[in-house]
Chains A and B, each alone.
Chain A
């Protein structure tokens, strides 16, 4: 249970303050929240459900749910914790709806019939000096992507929240309805799994 005496501290969170402004009818504050979290949400969703469009749809749904819940909102946790909790639930439902149906997605660096898209190719060229290095990086990226996909849904979400959102075990626990101890165990196993998958890129 969230310690009641600690609830007060969440008012320091600027996003909590924005949400309270939203509650007060400040539409601009909601725009600020969208700007602040849109990319982060889409990033998380793209790894959880696959596909950029699906990720955008789910991210939009998160914002709609937040807006609908504004009147009953109470700042009992960091705003991001609440937001990713909603995201977690939505991702779960989305995966359940999709069932085992594998959605084929075209990632920016896929070599499809037309090859990489020009702008992205240019970007890749600018960020790497040699074709061999580009190949290694691309191959490595694919392997990392595969390794992430090999994780269970919960492990993947915990890894994404910790790695890319910098969330503590306690906050991840709040978002995923787990105790910090369970998060610790979840991340430990996830990272052991990643290590096994990516062993060839890790030097001793």
Chain B
């Protein structure tokens, strides 16, 4: 901008083009726009020369007008740079800026008001009185108020007409969002589903919703199952309560929705009507949407591109679902629930706590003291410590006979008295029955040990779920990770991405928890669990089947957890 081309802008009067639209309902009265004469009248005499565009001193008017905005950081980058150059070259300009700055600082000496508590009390009492006013007893209208009322009505009508006309020409995107909130909020899911026909065909397969999804990757309530309010004002409130990232997503969804073809928009609106009305369809849609996040990106793309009709798309879904379930079944033999290739029940959280407390109560004084010094341990961290302390106690066999070297390596735990106490602490009938199915080669002691190890693992997973972080917490965690880890995570499919982030979160929040102490659990299992079959000497067994004989030379089963890289998440078979 060439400052010589522009006299100093007028401060008060505004032409129609420079006035802004009023804010909503900020009261009908208030100051009218000021006239040019009024404005000039209140200007200091010295400013009059600037009005004419003449230079008064060392600055051209444009620069001078920018000095205050410069101090306030309200100049454009370009103007700021230009003024910087002037200030570097001109000492008078620097003095002027400094004087303005000091003058501004002087305002700090102005007294601040003291506000009495009565003010708030009186204000709120008045508000209460307004609130309690009986609308059925309006005060009688005087002639004057009647006239005023008529004027208000007329003005309102003309304003409303103006707004309506304006909206016809330029629709307000925010109103548009509120109007389309239901479909826009669920757009991501609806784009996966496509139309009502597919959703109905999907419902007919009885494959969705899937039985239970304890390891679902989405930690928030799916929008499909959240009721979207009907009234616009309630919709405003709904949007206002959303976190910032969700609101940004809504904006993006609205844009995407508007970019769809009219026919597609209509289909999605019809879909939204059905989902909003029928709860079972909403559940199916929500679960289907969750499920799509577990797909590989190419599979998801294939589904979205499928245009051969609802039945073909459903066939593809069933195919992918079957493949996944097969993979899950294969993984189900993995860590941790089948650690030691053992089958059997696990304790629920209540029984697990009782059993751990039972073991802790029976620790000798020295071990109890050791537990006390680890007093900050909780949950599975404490449980693991308790079992470790208990199993390291076994120094001799009943009767005082010293342990053989093998027995020292693999103690006979629990001893009979502790075993009885553990069984008594268990309230689940099915578990007690399983424990009493004593077999020749597997005494009750071995079954208790198996039960404890498996239950430690299971409780670890439950702990992970109980402490599951929110999406926001995961996002914060992701931001703080090193770049390399972020890159690795970004390569994972969506479901794995969140699983892995949850594991990292858990490892930071609960480092002593069982899922972060895999090696200790493996060592414990190695010491306590009886080995099935015989060593075949060459250690070449495949090791994953329940009755495989082969053990590695180190006594580890190939494919057992200790021979794998650290787990990247709860196994798929834990569902």
Nearest chain A CB to B133 CB, angstrom units? 11
A89 CB contact (under 8 Å) in B29, B110, B126, B244: B29
For the complex, what is the distance from the CA of A21 to the CA of B19, rounded to whole Å? 31
Contact: B119 with A65, CB < 8 Å? Answer: no
Contact: B240 with A60, CB < 8 Å? Answer: no
Contact: B124 with A198, CB < 8 Å? Answer: no
Nearest chain A CB to B236 CB, angstrom units? 6
Q: How many residues of B sit at the interface, in one of the four size bands?
A: 35 or more
For the complex, what is the distance from the CA of A198 to the CA of B110, rounded to whole Å? 13
Contact: A194 with B127, CB < 8 Å? Answer: no
A1 CB contact (under 8 Å) in B10, B12, B20: B20
B9 CB contact (under 8 Å) in A69, A109, A185: A185
Q: Please, which residues of chain B bring their CB within 8 A of the CB of A42?
A: 113, 115, 119
Q: Which parts of B5-35 form the interface with A (CB within 8 Å)? A: 8-12, 14, 18-27, 29-31, 33-34
Interface string of B110-127 (1 = CB under 8 A from A): 111111000110111011
Contact: A189 with B11, CB < 8 Å? Answer: yes
Residue with the greatest number of chain A CB neighbours at <10 A, chosen from B8, B9, B68 = B68
A74-B20 contact, Cβ under 8 Å, with A24-B237, A198-B106: no
Q: Which parts of B33-47 form the interface with A (CB within 8 Å)? A: 33-34, 42-44, 47
Contact: A73 with B103, CB < 8 Å? Answer: no
Contact: B25 with A73, CB < 8 Å? Answer: yes
Nearest chain B CB to A72 CB, angstrom units? 5
B23 CB contact (under 8 Å) in A20, A77, A108, A198: A77
Interface string of A71-100 (1 = CB under 8 A from B): 111111100011001101110110000000
Q: Is A4 an interface residue (CB 8 A)?
A: yes
Contact: B110 with A7, CB < 8 Å? Answer: no
Nearest chain B CB to A15 CB, angstrom units? 11
Q: Please, which residues of chain A bring their CB within 8 A of the CB of B23?
A: 2, 76-77, 81-82, 85, 174
Q: Is B519 an interface residue (CB 8 A)?
A: no
Contact: A60 with B19, CB < 8 Å? Answer: no
Q: Which of B170-178, B393-401, B483-491 faces chain A?
A: B170-178
Q: Please, which residues of chain A bring their CB within 8 A of the CB of B128?
A: 27
For the complex, what is the distance from the CA of A140 to the CA of B112, rounded to whole Å? 15
Contact: A148 with B18, CB < 8 Å? Answer: no
B127 CB contact (under 8 Å) in A30, A75, A107: A30
Contact: A20 with B237, CB < 8 Å? Answer: yes
Contact: B233 with A144, CB < 8 Å? Answer: no
Residue with the greatest number of chain B CB neighbours at <10 A, chosen from A2, A174, A182, A204 = A182
Q: Is B279 an interface residue (CB 8 A)?
A: no
Q: Please, which residues of chain B bring their CB within 8 A of the CB of A1?
A: 20-21
Q: Is B306 an interface residue (CB 8 A)?
A: no
A178-B26 contact, Cβ under 8 Å, with A4-B173, A17-B241: no
Q: Please, which residues of chain B bring their CB within 8 A of the CB of A102?
A: none
A8-B119 contact, Cβ under 8 Å, with A30-B124, A64-B127, A168-B74: no
Q: Which parts of A38-64 form the interface with B (CB within 8 Å)? A: 38-39, 42-43, 46-47, 52, 55-56, 59-60, 63-64
B34 CB contact (under 8 Å) in A75, A154, A163: A154
A176, closest chain B residue (CB):
B31
Q: Which parts of A178-193 form the interface with B (CB within 8 Å)? A: 178-182, 184-189, 191-193
Residue with the greatest number of chain B CB neighbours at <10 A, chosen from A35, A144, A189 = A189
Nearest chain A CB to B139 CB, angstrom units? 15
A184 CB contact (under 8 Å) in B69, B99, B241, B247: B69
Q: Is B465 an interface residue (CB 8 A)?
A: no
Q: Is B100 an interface residue (CB 8 A)?
A: yes
Q: Is A137 an interface residue (CB 8 A)?
A: yes
Nearest chain A CB to B473 CB, angstrom units? 20
- Can you list 21 A-B contacts (CB < 8 A)? A4-B173, A7-B174, A8-B251, A27-B127, A39-B115, A43-B113, A60-B122, A60-B126, A73-B25, A81-B23, A85-B26, A90-B27, A179-B20, A184-B69, A184-B74, A186-B11, A188-B8, A188-B68, A191-B104, A202-B103, A204-B99
Given contacts A169-B74, A185-B65, 10 further A-B contacts (CB under 8 A): A1-B21, A16-B240, A20-B240, A60-B126, A76-B23, A76-B24, A82-B24, A88-B30, A137-B109, A154-B12
Chain B residues with CB under 8 Å of chain A are: 8-12, 14, 18-27, 29-31, 33-34, 42-44, 47, 64-69, 72, 74, 95, 98-100, 102-104, 106-107, 109-115, 119-120, 122-124, 126-128, 130-131, 170, 172-174, 177, 233-234, 236-237, 239-241, 244, 247, 251
Chain A residues with CB under 8 Å of chain B are: 1-2, 4-5, 7-8, 11-12, 16-17, 20-21, 23-24, 27, 30-31, 34-35, 38-39, 42-43, 46-47, 52, 55-56, 59-60, 63-65, 67-69, 71-77, 81-82, 85-86, 88-90, 92-93, 107-109, 137, 140-141, 144-145, 148, 152-155, 159, 162-163, 168-169, 173-174, 177-182, 184-189, 191-196, 198-199, 201-204
